[in-house]
Amino acid sequence: MADPPIPDAGYEFTSDWFTHNEPTWRTLTRDVKPRVILEIGSFEGRSACWMIDTLPTMADAGIELVCIDRWGHGRGQWPGYQTPAEIDGVEQRFDRNIARAVKRAIHPVTVRKFKGPSIVGLSKLLVDGKFGAFDMVYVDGGHGAPDVLADAVLAFRLLRVGGLMIFDDYLWGRDTDRPDDILRTPKPAIDAFLNVHWHAMRIVAGKPIYQLYARKIAE
Nearer to ligand SAM, 26 or 219 (CB): 26
* 47 sits near ligand SAM (criterion: CB under 6 A): yes
Stretch that binds ligand SAM, among 65-73, 125-133, 186-194, 206-214 (CB under 6 A): 65-73
Q: Check: CB of residue 12 under 8 Å from CB of residue 97.
A: yes
> HSE of 184 in the Cβ direction (CA atoms, 13 Å)?
14
Q: Is 29 exposed, middle or buried (0-12, 13-18, 19+ CB in 10 A)?
A: buried
Q: How far apart are CA 134 and CA 68, in angstroms?
A: 14
Choosing from 28, 29, 42, 149, the residue that interacts with ligand SAM (CB under 6 A) is 42
* 186 sits near ligand SAM (criterion: CB under 6 A): no
Stretch that binds ligand SAM, among 22-30, 54-62, 105-113, 137-145 (CB under 6 A): 137-145
H-type alpha helices, the chain: 22-32, 46-59, 84-87, 90-104, 118-127, 145-158, 187-196
Q: How far apart are CA 94 and CA 52, in angstroms?
A: 13
Q: Check: CB of residue 133 under 8 Å from CB of residue 158.
A: yes
Residue 138 Cβ vs ligand SAM, minimum distance, rounded to whole Å: 7
Residue 137 Cβ vs ligand SAM, minimum distance, rounded to whole Å: 12
Choosing from 97, 118, 185, 211, the residue that interacts with ligand SAM (CB under 6 A) is 118
Choosing from 56, 117, 163, 186, the residue that interacts with ligand SAM (CB under 6 A) is 117
Residue 2 Cβ vs ligand SAM, minimum distance, rounded to whole Å: 23
Stretch that binds ligand SAM, among 26-34, 42-50, 99-107, 187-195 (CB under 6 A): 42-50
Residue 1 Cβ vs ligand SAM, minimum distance, rounded to whole Å: 27
Choosing from 25, 28, 34, 43, the residue that interacts with ligand SAM (CB under 6 A) is 43
Per-residue binding letters, 147-166, with ligand SAM (x by CB under 6 A): x-------------------
Strands 109-115 and 63-69: parallel
CA distances from 215 to 16, 31, 189, 200 (A): 26, 11, 17, 8
**Cα Rg, the chain, nearest whole Å:** 16
Residue 207 Cβ vs ligand SAM, minimum distance, rounded to whole Å: 17
If we measure between CA atoms, which residue out of 138, 184, 177, 188 comes closest to residue 158? 138
Provide the binding-site residues for ligand SAM, judged by CB under 6 A: 17-18, 41-43, 46-47, 68-71, 76-77, 117-118, 140-142, 147
